[in-house]
Each structure stands twice: as structure tokens, then as C-alpha cells.
Structure 1
């Protein structure tokens, strides 16, 4: 079930973020991941609308939105391939006709996922870490026109 984030979800979200980041972002340092954990706790969680995917009273995935931008979408690694990310994506697509997200170019897992969800590349730029970021966009209207 997908529901709004509650304060008691924070530690589960942090644990999912760390495990999924180590898997998908093997090219970034552990220091970078820990800095992001700090930012999640002190900034991001307070600046976003966050939704969690809960199964048997346990959070197994989450997505954060800042307006129509996806700030984070992470699923516990043992649940990858089970449709959790797709369900979270479909949930936020029901809220917004267009969505944008930035992903590291090296993160093939995320790039494939977003491509499957209908996102297209807008531009790229260099992150402060020195890695290339891709800005991707989902536009329901563009997809409808392509199918016509």
C-alpha cells in the first residue's frame, strides 16, 4: 500500500536509501552517501512530499517529490523487480502530468527504469561530485501524441 510519509518512517527510509545507493551508486564514495543521509534527515525530508510503499507494516520503498520533480525513488534491494518502483511511479504520475528527475549517468539501473517509464533525456551537467547527471522528463501529453 502507498501512503504519505510519517515521522516514524525515517529510519526505514534511511536504511533503504543506504542499501539501494550502495547497489546503484557503486561509483560514489561512502562519504557521499553519508552526506546524503545527513541531508535527508536535516533538509530533504522536510522540503518534499514523500510517499512510502508499505508491505506487512514495513516500509520497502519511497518516493520524494518537490513540485513535479522526483527528488528520490528508492526500493529496498530485496524488493527490486517486484513492481514496487513502478507502483510508486504510477502513483506520482496520477498527481502530475509531467515529471522530471536527475540521475547519475553511470546509474544504468535507474536510467533503464526511467526509460521504461517513458522518461526522455533533456540535458546533462556535472554534479559537484564530478559525475555527470542527466535530467530526464516524463510528459504524459507527449506520450499520448506519440501513441496516436
Structure 2
């Protein structure tokens, strides 16, 4: 199925946070509950405003996945669990690469599903940090698009 990319309105931020939370709970099993609760208001009140946001919607125009990009870095890509593995992430990532000039992404080392996804789409690990950007003990892999194919 071909998905269309849409803009996101600020009035839809709560919907994005709901998708983020559902996606994180389905894929980030290594995160503790207190960390999810810590990040949730930050995403709503700070992180979403700091990126270019694009989304995919279902036939009812409900958002089913979204991305956030800043300075050629894919800062966020979250898909509602009911739509994981159905091409939504691929559509968003390809859009980010082709239209938003994304060349880098940071991935939680413990999120093997995401790591494999980005590797499948041409990203390679170039660095690692033992801590995430908030100083929490969740190792981050820094990946960049391998343009030599």
C-alpha cells in the first residue's frame, strides 16, 4: 500500500505523544516506566516543537506514524503498534531521506528492531555512547547513511 505524507498541526501533538507512548511500550522493552513518564511531557512540550514533523494517516485521516527531523538528523520515527511492519516506517524514512535530506539517526542500542530497520535501509553505525542525551544509561548508536553502495 502506498502511503501519503502529511504535515502535522500543533493541535495534533497530543495524538503524536499517544502514538509515541504506544510505540515505545511495544518496542522499547528495556525502558523503565519512570523513564517513559519522564520523557512524555518533554516530547509534548519541547521535542515536537524542535523538529520538522511529518506523518502518515489512515483512511480516516487518523495519524498512524510520524517522524521528526532537525539538521539532517532523524530525531524521531514512531509507528502505532498496529501498523508496524506495514510499510509506514519505510515510507516515512524514504521521505525523510529524499525530501528532508536526512543522513543520520541515533538508535537505542537495545532496540534491535530499529537497528535492523535502519541497517536494512542503508545506515551504518559510526559511533556509540554509553548514555543517552539525557544522561540515562541507555546506550545510543549513532548511524549515518552509507552513500557508497
Alignment partner of 1:34 is 2:40: no
Corresponding residue number in structure 1 for 2:141:
134
Alignment partner of 1:107 is 2:114: no
SS at match of 1:81: coil
Corresponding residue number in structure 1 for 2:85:
81
Deviation string, structure 1 residues 93-131 (Cα, Å, up to 9, x no partner)? 112445111111110110011011110001001222212
Corresponding residue number in structure 2 for 1:44:
47
Q: TM-score, normalised by structure 1?
A: 0.90
Q: TM-score, normalised by structure 2?
A: 0.90
Q: Is the 8 A contact 2:52 2:68 kept in 1?
A: yes
Q: Which moved more, 1:21-30 or 1:59-68?
A: 21-30
- Please give the residue correspondences for 1:61-72 in structure 2 after superposition, counting only pairs within 5 Å: 61-72=65-76
Q: Is the 8 A contact 2:14 2:44 kept in 1?
A: no
Greater fraction strand: 1
- Label 1:68 to 1:15 Cα distance change in 2 as closer, same or farther (>3 A): same
Deviation string, structure 1 residues 63-82 (Cα, Å, up to 9, x no partner)? 00011011100000010111
Q: CA RMSD in A?
A: 1.3
Aligned counterparts of 2:11 and 2:86: Cα–Cα separation in 1: 24
Aligned residue-pair number: 142
Structure 2 residues not aligned, in runs of 5+: none
The correspondence for 2:123, drawn from 114, 119, 123, is 119
Kindly report structure 1 stretches of 4+ aligned residues shifted beyond 2 Å. 95-98
